[in-house]
Amino acid sequence: MPDTPGKPYRHGLIVGKFAPLHRGHMLVLDRALAECERVSVWVYSRPDFPDMPSPLRRNWLRALYPARLFPGLELLPDAPNPPLNTEPDEVHRAYVRSVLDGWGVHPDAVYTSEEYGEAFAASLGATHVCVDRARVVVPVSGTALRADIHSLRHFLDPLVYAHFVRRVVILGAESTGKSTLTQALGESFNTAWVREYGRDVYERENGALTLEHFLEIARGHRALENEAMTSPGVHRWVFSDTDAATTLMWSYLLTGTARPELHALADDCRTRYAHVFLCDTDLPHEQDGWRANTEVRGVQQAFIRQDLASRGVPYTVVRGTVSERVAQVQAALKAYGGA
């Protein structure tokens, strides 16, 4: 019998792939937490999912159900040599029973939304609690999500969906149209976009930037990108105006050196972005009171190209009007894997 008044079960168990963790899983978990003194969750699949391995899936649970708020929740570790997902149910039941016995986990309730739940619970000597078996409350499955994650993203918490969002960075020297293009891409793709944080700091400090300011710019811009990944309107891509490697260039141009931490953030740009677009210098140079002249723009552009080549970062040059550049980005991202 449970020790907590009002809770019918002492120990609940949930076993699943959680690939990805969706609101249907959360419905089951919320029910178990409401009815059990203790809930054990086992993230379990073989083969595992290369793009979302079990530690990541456990971390989603850990982030959405933090221990300080859900002290009764226990996330079980990976177990050795699980049977393949295609093995018969009785093989899985025997394996789970053996592993749980070894861990000393003996639930008196098993929570599922699956047809196999009744026999699974019985094999453990536990009561089966079926939650939304017909998928009426949350009409989705992990299989459906894996097939079309972006169209069904509303069934995911933003923290989970962020894993499937890809960053795209727009680079270019001064007055190459990258800020305008970044915003236009966000609007065209109906998703989040990130302004150039360095411009905010540059104007705030009236152009008098120190080494610390450039590190602040890189860190602040990175924070804005991370924030955009979980923003309510994000869809498939986040477009970002400038990266830390460009900030590193500006640190050297204006101060002659850069902090080691800024170098590390610039190095991370090699893999941080799914695609890099470089705005060409074919647009007329516009002086806004902060920019240098056309000749300096050419030098800046050469530095950016050299940095991309040195780091081995592939990129696509975009030219023409804003609408033409948007179309070029759309074509490149469609070829990459979806637009």
Per-residue pLDDT tens over the stretch 40-87: 999 999 999 999 999 999 999 999 999 999 999 999 999 999 999 999
Please write the tens of the pLDDT for every residue from 11-44. 999 999 999 999 999 999 999 999 999 999 999 9
Residues of the chain with pLDDT under 70: 1-5, 285-294, 337-339
- What distance in Å separates the CA atoms of residue 74 and residue 327, rounded to the nearest whole number? 49
pLDDT for position 255: 95
pLDDT of residue 297: 85
Q: How far apart are alpha carbons 23 and 149 in whole angstroms?
A: 13
Joined together, the tokens standing for residue 338 give: 């979806």
Q: Rounded CA gap, 199 and 247, in Å?
A: 11
Instruction: Give dist(CA 186, CA 296) in Å, integer.
Output: 29
Residue 174: name the closest of 279, 329, 270, 310 by CA. 279
pLDDT for the residue numbered 284: 76
pLDDT of residue 286: 63
The one-letter amino acid at 11: H
**Whole-angstrom Cα distance, residue 134 to residue 326?**
43
Tokens of 109: 């309730």
pLDDT for residue 2: 58
Q: For the chain, list the domains and their CATH numbers.
A: 9-152 (3.40.50.620), 165-336 (3.40.50.300)
In this prediction, residue 336 carries a pLDDT of 77
Supply the pLDDT for residue 296. Answer: 81
Amino acid at 53: P
The pTM of this model reads 0.91
What's the pLDDT score for residue 90?
Answer: 96
